[in-house]
C-alpha cells in the first residue's frame, strides 16, 4: 500500500518534525548541530523556501517552513539524506538515522503559524533543558527577538513578527513567554494535534 501523498501547493507552510531511530540521538556534538543548519542553508539555495522557526533537540528536529514553488519532500529529503550520510560517516555507523518518515503538519492560518512557532521555541523548556527559551542555543528564538541571524542559516523573521503591529519583538516575546499556554484554548488544541503527530513519528 502506497504512502498518502502530502498536501502541497505553492506557498504552503508546514511544521516538520522528525526524530532519531529508536529515539536515539541525532546530535552528539556542536559540529553536528552546525552541519545540520548548514545543510538547511544549502537546501534553501537549491530548493528555495522560507524558514520561519526551528529548534534542534538532542534526538529530534522541528522546522517551520513556507515553501515557494518546490514541494516539501524535495527539501526535507535533501537535508535528511545528506545529514544522515554525514552522521554515519562521522560516527562509523550504518542504517537509518531517522525513525521513519518525517511528519509535516500543514499550517493554513496566521494564528496557527504563530502558535506553531511558540510551540517550537518552548520545546527546550518542556524538556527542562533551560529556564528560558532565549538560553537555548540551537533554536531560532534569539534571531527573532534580536535580529541576530545565525551564521549558518538565514531566517525570515518578518513572517513571524509581522503578525504584530508595534514593538514586534517585545510582543512576540510576551506571546511566547508570558501568556500561559494552559489558558489558551487554541494553543492547547493545536499543541495536542502536534503531540499526536509526534507520537505517530515515534511509531
Give the model confidence (pLDDT) of 61-74 as tens digits.
Answer: 999 999 999 999 99
Kindly give, in sequence order, each residue whose CB lies less than 8 Å from that of residue 174, ignoring residues fewer than 6 positions away: none
Site of grid cell 517585545: 170
Query: Per-domain residue ranges for the chain?
Result: 13-202
Res. 187: pLDDT tops 80 = no
CA distances from 43 to 124, 139, 153, 157 (A): 25, 18, 10, 18
Q: Percent of the chain scored above 90 by pLDDT?
A: 75
- The answer to whether the beta carbons of residues 84 and 97 sit under 8 Å apart is yes
Q: Which helix (H) or strand (E) holds 14?
A: strand 13-19
Q: What is the pLDDT of residues 119-140, one digit of tens each?
A: 999 999 999 999 999 999 999 9
Which residues lie below 8 Å from residue 57, measured CB to CB, with a gap of 6+?
Answer: 27, 123, 124, 127, 138
Q: Taking 70 as the threshold, does the pLDDT of residue 52 lie above it?
A: yes
pLDDT at 6: 79
Largest CA-CA distance found in the chain, in angstroms, rounded? 51
Q: Say if CB 16 and CB 102 are below 8 A apart.
A: yes
Report pLDDT for 196: 54
Question: CB of 55 within 8 A of CB of 12?
Answer: no
pLDDT score of 200:
47
What is the Cβ-side half-sphere exposure of residue 130, based on CA atoms within 13 angstroms? Answer: 14
Please say if the pLDDT value at position 144 is more than 50.
yes
CATH assignment of 13-202, among 3.30.300.30, 3.40.50.2300, 3.30.70.1290, 3.40.50.880: 3.30.70.1290
Residue 44 CB neighbour total at 10 angstroms: 19
Q: What is the pLDDT of residues 72-106, one digit of tens each?
A: 999 999 999 999 999 999 999 998 999 888 999 99
Q: Could you tell me if 7 and 58 are in contact, meaning their C-beta atoms sit under 8 angstroms apart?
A: no
Using 50, 70 and 90 to split pLDDT, how confident is the model at 1?
Answer: very low
Question: Among candidates 30, 27, 50, which has minimal Cα distance to 40?
Answer: 50
Mean of the pLDDT values across residues 130-152?
91
18-35 tens-digit pLDDT = 999 888 999 999 999 999
pLDDT of residue 203 exceeding 60, the answer is no
Amino acid at each position: 500500500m502506497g504512502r498518502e501523498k502530502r498536501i502541497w501547493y505553492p506557498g504552503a507552510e508546514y511544521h516538520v518534525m522528525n526524530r532519531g531511530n529508536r529515539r536515539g540521538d541525532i546530535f552528539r556534538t556542536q559540529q553536528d548541530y552546525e552541519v545540520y543548519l548548514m545543510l538547511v542553508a544549502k537546501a534553501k539555495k537549491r530548493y528555495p523556501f522560507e524558514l520561519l522557526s526551528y529548534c534542534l533537540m538532542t534526538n529530534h528536529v522541528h522546522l517551520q517552513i513556507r515553501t515557494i514553488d518546490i514541494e516539501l519532500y524535495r527539501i526535507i529529503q535533501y537535508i535528511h539524506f545528506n545529514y544522515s550520510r554525514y552522521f554515519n560517516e562521522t560516527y562509523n555507523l550504518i542504517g537509518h538515522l531517522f525513525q521513519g518518515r518525517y511528519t509535516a503538519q500543514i499550517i493554513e492560518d496566521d494564528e496557527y503559524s504563530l502558535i506553531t512557532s511558540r510551540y517550537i521555541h518552548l520545546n527546550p523548556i518542556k524538556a527542562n533543558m533551560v529556564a528560558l527559551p532565549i538560553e537555548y542555543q540551537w533554536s531560532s528564538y534569539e534571531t527573532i527577538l534580536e535580529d541576530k541571524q545565525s551564521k549558518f542559516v538565514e531566517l525570515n523573521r518578518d513572517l513571524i513578527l509581522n503578525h504584530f503591529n508595534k514593538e514586534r519583538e517585545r510582543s512576540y516575546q510576551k506571546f511566547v513567554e508570558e501568556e500561559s499556554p494552559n489558558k489558551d484554548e487554541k494553543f492547547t488544541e493545536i499543541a495536542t494535534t502536534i503531540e499526536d503527530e509526534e507520537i505517530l513519528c515515534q511509531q
